[in-house]
Structure 1
Amino acid sequence: MKNTYKVIWFDDEFKTLRRIREQAFLNDIELFGFTNAEEGIEELKNNIEYYDAAILDGIFFKNAKDSGHAYDDSPMGDVAMELVKLEDRKKLPWFILSGKTSFTKDKNRFAESFKEGQVYDKLGDNVYLSELWKNLKKESDSLEITQLKHKYPSIFSLCSDEYIGKKHFDRILQIVRDIENPSQILNTQDLLNPLRKVIEAMLTKLNSIGIIPDDIRNTPNWINPSSLFLSNKHNDYEHLEEIIHPVIGESFYRLLNLTQDASHDQGTKLGVDSYLAEKKSTFLYQSTIFLLLEIMDWLKPFIDNNSDKTKNLAKWRNKINPLESNENPGSLEGVVVKISENGYATFQPVGSIRTISIPPSMVSKHELNVDQKIKVQTEPSPSGTKTYIKAIIDKSKS
């Protein structure tokens, strides 16, 4: 995988500057354009760690609502000052790329103050752009974050809207830093929650392409049932073909057993939190990171090669609700096959090998009998691993 560079670009005409965008692409540089200082500065405040460099036109808009022709160089000065303020977080390399003669031929106050007068001519031939790309890469390559991104390209490539989102970049960056500098890891019992957030984002993405059923995703405490499904351990679902590699499915399951247990609101079956609090070593925490990185390394090519939701939905079936009505989701038709002495009845959905219990109160209220055909409304249990009968909505005469 080639080393790529993400660059924030301030230019009110960036959408029309096709030559520059094409040249950047050919040099493995991805440009993220902003027409104005207001929105671009907000992006820098929120996500400066995400970028490897910045490119500033000499003249662009100050505010998001501005339109027409930009004429003032003060927005560039505003961005330059903000980049200086943010240097305690990240000293982002930045460059001036302008076609204005007030920058390329004459001396400009901000170019002189911040960049010793160095300006790249965006209207000149490609030699100016080639020099810009070369110097941009050279300065970016000296940054610790850029070096980590290039060392773990498949991991950081997930931090886009096509995969799990830019908002997880900082979490993933810290996870990678922990592996790179294990001697600096402290308080491991507090470090598993960020891992869980990343796993949740991956599961959400898999749901969006039809790999994980909506019925699981839309229930409370859906994360554990999702791992059961991916590892082919969920009682209510059958894999009609291999959905993901068994090693990855099992990795999701084992990793979530640890991270969920460490979360205070998910129970303490294994006592992970107290175990980590007592241990001085960080081996368990590091092992969970490596397992997470293995899943993340697998995820991007899997999504790229399995993005057809219709095909993915055909890879599994719900054993409980195989004939669920599209007009009335959660409704099932079937037969009362048994009524026990304790008052509970057993409902057999049409086309299903599994059964669902009917509570005595419903049996009595509807005066149900064995072999009676009924239609029921179902709902998932709070954990999402079982199906309950919510109501009886129709029945045949016994």
Structure 2
Amino acid sequence: MTKIYNILWVDDEHDHPEMEPFIIQAEARGIILIGYSNFKEGFEALQRNLNYYDGVLLDALFFFDESSTTPNKKGLGASIGKLNELKGKKVFPHFVLSGQSSFTDEQNDILEANDLRCYNKKEPEDVKELLETIKSEADIQTDLQIKHENQSLFEVLKDYPDSARDTFISIFKGLKGFDNQFDDQLYFTQLRIILETIFRRANAFGLLHDKCVQVSGGKVNLYESYLFLSGLDTNHFKVNCSFTHFPKLIANNVKTIIHTTGAASHTSVVDITENIHIQAYRKGVNTTYLLYSLALQLMDVLIWFDGYSKTNSDIAKNKSYWQDLEYDAEGNKFEISEIERVAPNGWASVLLNNKTKSISVYKGDVANLNLSAGDKIKFTIKDSSQAQNITKL
């Protein structure tokens, strides 16, 4: 997989047709240039999404803001000043590329004061050297190392809110030993929010029932969602899915994340300090490893879901597996299954739970309903082993 470098590019001519060869040349090296014509818009984008960008490329003369009519040095000076200001949050390798002779051929106060070189966009060798330097200097940055080491994950996260990427970068930094002081309340909450996003996306594909993501004004019920995607009956919504979407280990990962972070219902109202299991755990093991283990499990869930949703994107087909659950007056659930066999003594049997549980059908019901192998019936279960309230479908 090719390494990708996302570079903020501020140049008033970034979208000019003459720049297309340069853009293509950069992309061939994995450098994606995200262009803006002025300082204000470009650096607002940078500040909104610090962990997305891996470096900054500046023209020598460009617009200061949307109202500017003449490119000038003000934008360059403001850009360098802002990059220095942001060093406390993130250090961005930054470069200047221009065709202006006052920057490429003469001594320039701004460049000299900031120990910067101006690469000449009119010189092919200069451009080639610039692109290689962008990559080599960006590679030193911890954030980019993390993204390159975990490209499969971060490729998936392009479809998720920026906060998801930020969460995993912070966790990977902790794993690398840069920061081991995590607030469980904050990061457990972030993991739940990412899981909620997965479930919302599952609903958009028709994989998850609407009832699971439309609780109390649009909240996601995490545990009910887990049950539905695991092919199990929901506890409160009286629906299930006849097709099991979650593989066993993915289902286990999701269940562990939900229960450990205390999110038995929703993502936004859980106080981890009130989770007695976490607090008991903390008394003996007060480390960040629990958080890391949950994050790593969630990474597998994200990567699995990305592939699964792409190969199971037929919304109508996915919704065809949705089932409403019916109950009798005593609260017993109606099941639907086919007669597996009719024994010589007149009794019949049906199989439930992926054909792992056998339920008997009384011979009198078999005779009265004229049942034979292959017939579909609806029924409740008496004493966990015998069908009753039988209707032939």
- Fold agreement, TM-score > 0.5: yes
1:21 aligns with 23
Residues 72 and 155 of structure 1: CA distance in aligned 2, closer, same or farther (over 3 Å): same
Unaligned runs of 5+ in 1: 322-336, 349-398
Task: Report how far residue 224 of structure 1 moved.
Answer: 2.3
**1:157-196 alignment to 2 at 5 Å?**
157-160=155-158, 163-181=159-177, 184-186=180-182, 188=184, 191-196=187-192
1:43 aligns with 45
1:201 aligns with 2:203: no
2:44 maps to amino acid: E
2:299 aligns with 293
**Cα distance in 1, alignment partners of residues 252 and 11 from structure 2:** 48
1:31 aligns with 2:30: no
CA contact (8 A) 1:240 1:317 kept: yes
1:388 aligns with none
Residues 310 and 10 of structure 1: CA distance in aligned 2, closer, same or farther (over 3 Å): farther
SS at 1:14 equivalent: coil
1:114 aligns with 2:114: yes
**1:90-239 alignment to 2 at 5 Å?**
90-116=90-116, 118-125=117-124, 127-160=125-158, 163-181=159-177, 184-186=180-182, 188=184, 191-220=187-216, 221-222=219-220, 223-235=222-234, 236-239=238-241
**Cα distance in 1, alignment partners of residues 322 and 276 from structure 2:** 34
Residues 286 and 339 of structure 1: CA distance in aligned 2, closer, same or farther (over 3 Å): closer
CA contact (8 A) 2:250 2:301 kept: yes
CA contact (8 A) 2:231 2:243 kept: no
2:352 aligns with none
Task: Report how far residue 305 of structure 1 moved.
Answer: 4.1
2:279 maps to amino acid: S
**Cα distance in 1, alignment partners of residues 333 and 297 from structure 2:** 42
CA contact (8 A) 1:58 1:97 kept: yes
Task: Report how far residue 229 of structure 1 moved.
Answer: 1.7
CA contact (8 A) 2:12 2:71 kept: no
Task: Report how far residue 128 of structure 1 moved.
Answer: 2.9
**Cα distance in 1, alignment partners of residues 225 and 189 from structure 2:** 17
1:279 aligns with 284
**1:225-374 alignment to 2 at 5 Å?**
225-235=224-234, 236-261=238-263, 265-266=269-270, 271-282=276-287, 283-314=289-320, 316-320=321-325
Residues 186 and 106 of structure 1: CA distance in aligned 2, closer, same or farther (over 3 Å): closer
Task: Report how far residue 293 of structure 1 moved.
Answer: 2.2
Task: Report how far residue 46 of structure 1 moved.
Answer: 2.9
Residues 299 and 175 of structure 1: CA distance in aligned 2, closer, same or farther (over 3 Å): farther
CA contact (8 A) 1:188 1:276 kept: no
**Cα distance in 1, alignment partners of residues 328 and 195 from structure 2:** 42
**Cα distance in 2, alignment partners of residues 277 and 243 from structure 1:** 34
Q: CA deviation digits over 1:129-157, x for unaligned, max 9?
A: 32111101111111111111111122222
TM-score (norm 2): 0.71
SS at 2:24 equivalent: helix
SS at 1:134 equivalent: helix
1:20 maps to amino acid: F
TM-score (norm 1): 0.71
Unaligned runs of 5+ in 2: 335-393
CA contact (8 A) 2:39 2:78 kept: yes
CA contact (8 A) 2:231 2:242 kept: no
SS at 2:92 equivalent: coil
Task: Report how far residue 185 of structure 1 moved.
Answer: 4.3
1:77 aligns with 2:77: yes
CA contact (8 A) 2:171 2:292 kept: no
